[in-house]
Amino acid sequence: MTSDFDSLPQSTRRSQQIDFPVAVIILFDRALWWLSTLLSTVRLKLVLRWLGCEYGHGLAVDGKVVVRVRRRGSITIGNNVTIRSRFLSNLVGMTGSTVLHCIRDGRIRIGDNSGCSSTVFSSRNSIVVGKNVNIGGNVRIYDHDFHALDYLARRDPQQDFDHQKSPPITIGDDVFIGANSIILKGVTIGCRSVIGAGSVVTLKDIPPDSLVAGNPARIVRSIKPSNLQSEK
């Protein structure tokens, strides 16, 4: 019995087999990925330790993570957290590094088993990410506006800084945030909710199990409870 593959011309068949040079390239890529993960993870752990921040076991980092912690800011990373921070670490079209930025008393907490790709966390107050949260490529999470609303305040750097609100952001367990979304100050996302790709989220209280999308993001519908067995 001949398969569809056998009936293809010889030249096409050759292109579907993994030949020696391709295997070498794949192995080389794997080795680079492994080395990058090792070095990036060690680097981030050293930086966090140096800054007096905490991280749990199983932290896996691929690419350079930018960390800025000023004064009394703090970062706490739970167990088994994955941080992707270079283009090839997640082929969703990542455009930059992951950034963990605490301004003054800013606080960033990332819960167990959560992961993010090229995500910017910028906190002046508090950004809390729950457990098992998937944060898609290029998501931005800001609990402040970077600038004041008052145009006169914006002319003076100190007044610009002082005239801003920074209510906290809370992201519940098992939330999934689609790529290129922006989560703005004061937002609370209920557990298991999904944020559509490219959403700009300003809704203050998103109930659990909601599908939210758009700019400005609105609740599209509720998500049915899972009928799968939980393994954790």
Minimum distance from residue 172 beta carbon to ligand COA (Å): 16
Closest CB to ligand COA among residues 108, 195:
195
Site for ligand COA in 48-107 (CB under 6 A): 92
What is the three-state SS of 139-184?
CEEECCCCCCCCHHHHCCHHHHHHCCCCCCEEECCCCEECCCCEEC
Residues 6+ apart with CB under 8 A from 221: 210, 211
Take residue 67 and report the two structure tokens written for it: 């960390």
Site string for ligand COA, 118-157 (x = CB under 6 A): ------------------xx--------------------
Distances (CA, A) of 40 to 27, 32, 45, 89, 218: 20, 12, 9, 12, 37
Minimum distance from residue 115 beta carbon to ligand COA (Å): 10
For the stretch 205-214, contacts whose Cβ atoms lie closer than 8 Å and that sit 24 or more positions apart, written own/partner, are: 208/172, 213/178
* DSSP reduced 3-state for 98: coil
Closest CB to ligand COA among residues 121, 144:
121
Site string for ligand COA, 171-210 (x = CB under 6 A): -------xx--------------x-xxxx-----------
Counting residues that bind ligand COA (by CB under 6 A) gives 15
Among 56, 96, 167, 214, binds ligand COA (CB under 6 A): 214
Annotated catalytic, 101?
no
- Count the residues in the chain: 232
Minimum distance from residue 211 beta carbon to ligand COA (Å): 6
CA 146 to chain centroid, in Å, comes to: 20
Q: Which residues pair with 116 in a beta bridge?
A: 83, 135
Closest CB to ligand COA among residues 81, 194:
194
The binding site for ligand COA (CB under 6 A) comprises 92, 117, 136-137, 178-179, 194, 196-199, 211, 213-214, 220
Residues with catalytic roles: 147
